[in-house]
A = this chain, B = another copy of it.
Amino acid sequence: MSNLKAVAEHSKVSIATVSRVINNDPKVSKVTVLKVQASISALEYKPNRVAQRLRSSKGKTKLLGLIIPDIQNPFFVDVVRGVEDYAYQHNFAVMIGNFGQDEKKEKLYLDIFQSENIDGLIVAPIHGKDKGIENLVKKDIPVVCIDRGLTEIDVDVVKVDNENGAFNAIDHLLSMGHKRIAFISGNFKIPTYIERLSGYKRALDKYGIAYDESLVFARNSDYKSGFEIANKILELENRPTAIFSGNNLLTLGALEAIHAKDINIPEEISIIGFDDMPWSISLNPPLTAVRQPGFDMGKKAAEMLYERMVDPSKKKEKVILKTELMIRKSTARIE
């Protein structure tokens, strides 16, 4: 079973380099080209059908499909940019379908992309069980899942370490003396929020603080929900001293509610948002936030998709990217 990986190992270069040679990428040095070609001969490697197609369509634009849950969420816009960045370098264009967290529309875009001539698909599944995506994978259409994986089938996935991201945020608050920390979450059907909740709980555990369900609020991942839930939190009798907000739209809604009541951040309430956004540092005070590497996620997904196209027999990969806690001025110590 002589495949691309074997060629890469034999010629001591990366799989990406082998595929560049196959695709006659002018950027590869002559020495490397000769080395790889020698390995290809030695191993009697036969580029598979897809690799041949990639080679034969050299110079022609190739097409990737990208299906995202919410184009209003700047995190997914970063993902789009990352995908485009890698794709353009490899002469692929990217067609985007936005399903707006609507299951029917997600299916619609899966159907369309399948009937169009796409070379591969990057998609954020709406659920862990997603028949539509499973079918594509079974048909050997190159697919990479982002942000969320699939439970019923082995598939390439790039996601972030949501559990640790949430843990670090809550740990930061607890270390500054906060004990009552409200969590504004999106719907717990979405795997990312389940993972963030479990990080929240683990941090409380570390400080020996009992988990209080009445401080956790889950609704849609949108502005309106953030505003309404924050209003509820601010009116609680024993008001929490800190808020952990589950995504950037929820954070914006929560901030509006806090400002409307003239409550000072961080003197009267601390707030951390999941997702660091361009506007985080322009806020007053600048927002403490969990940065997700959206751009890197998109770029990595495109790279994995490309490798999958070149070598369909490649073992499926799960890549988990780290988050980073950006400590700014919306969180403070309390006595």
Instruction: Report yes or no: A93 in contact with B81, Cβ–Cβ below 8 A.
Output: no
Contact-size category for A: 35 or more
Known contacts being A95-B95, A97-B93, is A278 close to B259, with CB within 8 Å? Answer: no
A96 interface hit (Cβ, 8 Å): yes
A283 contacts B284, C-beta separation under 8 Å: yes
The CA-CA distance from A223 to B282 in the complex, in Å, is 11
Complex interface: chain B residues within 8 A of A123 (CB): none
CB closest residue in chain B, given A78: B72
- Residue A171 lies at the interface, judged by CB distance under 8 Å to chain B: no
A95-B112 CB under 8 A given contacts A255-B282, A281-B256: yes
User: Can you identify 8 A-B contacts, CB atoms within 8 angstroms?
Assistant: A61-B111, A72-B74, A84-B98, A95-B112, A256-B282, A279-B279, A283-B283, A283-B284
A4 at the interface (CB under 8 A from B): no
Pairwise interchain contact B112-A63, C-beta atoms closer than 8 A: yes
Q: A93 to B100, alpha carbons, bound, how many Å?
A: 12
A88 at the interface (CB under 8 A from B): yes
Identical subunits present: 2
Residue A286 lies at the interface, judged by CB distance under 8 Å to chain B: yes
Q: Is A194 an interface residue (CB 8 A)?
A: no
Q: Is A137 interfacial (CB-CB < 8 Å)? A: no
Please name all residues of chain B whose beta carbon is closer than 8 Å to the beta carbon of A100 when the two chains form the complex.
Answer: 81, 84
Q: Is A71 at the interface (CB under 8 A from chain B)? A: yes
Q: How many angstroms from the CA of A93 to the CA of B93 in the assembled complex?
A: 18
Output the residue of A63, A72, A95, A117 with the most chain B CB within 10 A: A95
Taking CB atoms, residues of chain B closer than 8 Å to A84 are 98, 100
A255-B282, A259-B281 provided; 19 other pairs, C-beta below 8 A?
A: A61-B112, A71-B77, A71-B80, A74-B74, A80-B98, A88-B105, A93-B108, A94-B97, A94-B98, A116-B117, A252-B278, A252-B279, A252-B282, A256-B282, A259-B284, A259-B286, A279-B283, A282-B283, A283-B283
Can you name the residue of chain B whose Cβ is closest to the Cβ of A265? B284
The reply to whether B93 and A96 form a contact with Cβ atoms under 8 Å apart is no
CA gap between A285 and B260 in the complex, in Å: 11
Interface residues of A in 89-112 (CB under 8 A from B): 93-98, 100, 105, 108-109, 111-112
